């Protein structure tokens, strides 16, 4: 008779290899191991935003050495405001690029949102009188269609925002700066519903749809504003969006909130992983990273709270309003992409659409939703840009707005092939482009040189993306 307390059978004893395989998730790493792991990822093609960061540092060194005005306080603040609108539009485009899609109409869509906003303000809330009967009827019809399409696809934020634009337009809400900005955002969301439905449900390639809408929305802007006309934004609140600054106390409050929040999130997540026995970066590296960010934020806040006016009669100080606007959008967008099931679905669809469909993800809904997000962000960028220049022109959203926005996302590290990228890429890439434009302008270089340099930087970023993906594909697993 076999004893029930005999030794454990050999087949029940885990093999040493199995122990090591599972132990990788609960083994801490030293600083040297973390550095070697990062170097291995770089060799494997996982470059992330590193090329853009190195390029940004190089540009800062070059322009500061070639001119005396580049690193002045006034120019630093101007640099932040100069790239804000492109940054915001690029953040919306990141969602589209993550699916391997493209939105060529984001620029002119932002122009439509800005034109409707300006027209509502100038005409005292009477869009019917400003557009004319036929155009107004078509405008309201498209808004109603956007509501229906968003509801059919169960994209409720798009349906609600489109319906809000329709209500504001029909009842003639009196002009108010906050109503104007809300209307612009709602119109942008409605445009995204129309674009996304044509791509996701009808099945027209995004390149074709958005190229056609790029031309169509440009014509709409021209129709709303008129050939050679300009709609001024004579409102202090709208002016302050891109041209105003926080108070000194408000600037330091923003620093405390942003830096403290960043430190709390990063350190909280790190020590939580350590408590659970999960693999985590070395604590000294995490503390160094958080400390560097906090110190840089403190130095930047201190510099921006100094008086940067060139006149002794005027005091200009404080963090520009565009900084908290971009930070809020960055935090919200990053949270959505990295900490929600929706964000995981976006990456899944971008990585392998068929596998995502078989896993039960509503691929069509995800595809449509990213265009809604993109056009809504484009409308926010239009608000900032219109505030910066103080008016809306017939070419609003045209020119190189789209090219710079796509370029910002790609230069920052977002892949054109889908499945790889983060929202911070748009911020880093936009900083590179804004630095090029600003630095070249201070050096009094002609527009031709600026365009050539910008194009070469974008080409270089696309080449790095393609080569890194090829290297990642052949790298040993």
Q: Within a domain: residue 260?
A: yes
Q: Within a domain: residue 27?
A: no
Per-residue pLDDT band for 21 (boundaries 50, 70, 90) equals very low
> Are residue 181 and residue 305 in the same domain, yes or no?
no
The range of the structural domain enclosing residue 360 comes to 48-244+320-466
Give the model confidence (pLDDT) of 189-205 as tens digits. 999 999 999 999 999 99
> Are residue 272 and residue 356 in the same domain, yes or no?
no
Final residue of a domain: which of 319, 339, 360?
319
> Are residue 455 and residue 381 in the same domain, yes or no?
yes
> Are residue 135 and residue 250 in the same domain, yes or no?
no
Per-residue pLDDT band for 443 (boundaries 50, 70, 90) equals confident
For residue 367, what are the contacts with CB-CB under 8 A and spacing of at least 6?
99, 101, 196, 199, 200, 349
Final residue of a domain: which of 266, 297, 319?
319
> Are residue 275 and residue 235 in the same domain, yes or no?
no
> Are residue 219 and residue 128 in the same domain, yes or no?
yes
Closest-CA residue to 411 (of 428, 386, 397, 399): 428
> Are residue 272 and residue 135 in the same domain, yes or no?
no
Distance between first and last Cα of the chain: 50
> Are residue 392 and residue 328 in the same domain, yes or no?
yes
> Are residue 74 and residue 170 in the same domain, yes or no?
yes
Per-residue pLDDT band for 464 (boundaries 50, 70, 90) equals confident
Residue 234 and residue 304 in contact, taking contact as beta carbons nearer than 8 Å: no
Q: 0.85 exceeded by the pTM?
A: yes
Q: Within a domain: residue 30?
A: no
Burial of residue 97, with CB atoms counted within 10 A of its CB: 0-12 exposed, 13-18 middle, 19 or more buried: buried
What is the pLDDT at residue 85?
Answer: 94
Q: Within a domain: residue 249?
A: yes
Buried-state track 301-335, b at ≥16 Cβ within 10 A, e below 16: beebbeebeeeeeeeebbbbbbbbbbbebbeebee
Q: List strand residue ranges (DSSP E) for 92-138, in order.
A: none
Q: How many domains does the chain have?
A: 2
Residue 188 has pLDDT above 50, yes or no: yes
What is the pLDDT at residue 45?
Answer: 65
Q: Within a domain: residue 25?
A: no
> Are residue 223 and residue 80 in the same domain, yes or no?
yes
Q: Within a domain: residue 458?
A: yes
Lowest mean pLDDT of 37-41, 99-103, 236-240, name the range: 37-41
Give the three-state DSSP class for 163: helix
Per-residue DSSP letter, 32: H
419: left (phi over 0), alpha (psi -120 to 50) or beta: left
> Are residue 148 and residue 227 in the same domain, yes or no?
yes
Alpha carbon distance 461, 409 (integer Å): 10
What is the pLDDT at residue 200?
Answer: 96
110 vs 43, 248, 255, CA distance in Å?
39, 32, 30
Q: Within a domain: residue 14?
A: no
Give the model confidence (pLDDT) of 354-396 as tens digits. 999 999 999 999 999 999 999 999 999 999 999 999 999 998 8
Q: Within a domain: residue 11?
A: no
Final residue of a domain: which of 276, 301, 319?
319
> Are residue 57 and residue 127 in the same domain, yes or no?
yes
What CATH number did the domain enclosing 197 receive? Answer: 1.10.3470
């Amino acid at each position: 008779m076999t004893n029930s307390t005999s030794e454990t059978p050999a087949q029940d004893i885990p093999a040493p290899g199995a122990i090591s395989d599972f132990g990788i998730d609960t083994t801490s790493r030293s600083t040297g191991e973390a550095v070697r792991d990062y170097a291995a990822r770089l060799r494997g093609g996982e470059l992330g935003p590193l090329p853009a960061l190195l390029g940004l540092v190089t540009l800062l060194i070059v322009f500061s050495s070639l001119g005396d005005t580049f690193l002045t306080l006034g120019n630093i603040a101007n640099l932040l405001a100069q790239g804000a609108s492109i940054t915001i539009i690029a953040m919306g485009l990141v969602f589209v690029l993550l699916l391997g899609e493209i939105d060529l109409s984001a620029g002119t869509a932002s122009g439509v949102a800005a034109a409707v906003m300006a027209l509502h303000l100038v005409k005292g809330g009477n869009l019917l009188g400003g557009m004319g009967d036929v155009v107004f009827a078509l405008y309201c019809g498209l808004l109603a269609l956007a509501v229906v399409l968003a509801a059919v696809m169960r994209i409720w934020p798009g349906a609600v925002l489109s319906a809000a634009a329709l209500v504001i337009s029909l009842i003639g809400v009196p002009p108010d700066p906050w109503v104007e900005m809300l209307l612009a955002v709602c119109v942008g969301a409605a445009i995204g519903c129309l674009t996304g439905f044509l791509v996701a449900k009808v099945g027209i390639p995004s390149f074709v749809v958005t190229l056609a809408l790029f031309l169509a929305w440009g014509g709409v802007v021209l129709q709303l504003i008129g050939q050679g006309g300009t709609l001024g934004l004579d409102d202090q609140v709208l002016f302050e969006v891109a041209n105003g600054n926080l108070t000194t106390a408000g600037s330091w409050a923003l620093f405390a909130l942003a830096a403290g929040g960043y430190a709390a999130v990063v350190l909280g997540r790190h020590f939580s992983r350590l408590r659970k026995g999960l693999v985590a970066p070395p604590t000294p590296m995490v503390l160094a990273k958080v400390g560097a960010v906090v110190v840089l934020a403190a130095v930047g806040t201190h510099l921006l709270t100094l008086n940067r006016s060139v006149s002794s009669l005027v005091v200009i100080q404080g963090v520009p309003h565009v900084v908290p606007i971009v930070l809020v959008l960055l935090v919200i967008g990053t949270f959505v992409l990295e900490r929600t099931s929706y964000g995981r679905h976006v990456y899944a669809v971008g990585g392998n659409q068929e596998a995502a469909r078989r896993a039960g993800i509503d691929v069509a809904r995800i595809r449509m939703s990213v265009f809604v997000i993109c056009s809504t962000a484009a409308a926010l960028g239009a608000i900032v840009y219109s505030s910066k220049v103080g008016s809306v022109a017939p070419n609003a959203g045209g020119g190189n707005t789209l090219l710079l926005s796509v370029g910002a996302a790609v230069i920052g590290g977002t892949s054109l092939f889908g499945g790889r990228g983060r929202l911070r890429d748009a911020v880093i890439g936009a900083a590179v482009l804004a630095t090029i434009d600003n630095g070249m302008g201070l050096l009094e270089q002609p527009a031709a040189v600026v365009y050539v340099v910008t194009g070469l930087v974008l080409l270089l970023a696309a080449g790095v993306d393609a080569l890194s993906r090829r290297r990642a594909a052949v790298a040993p697993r």
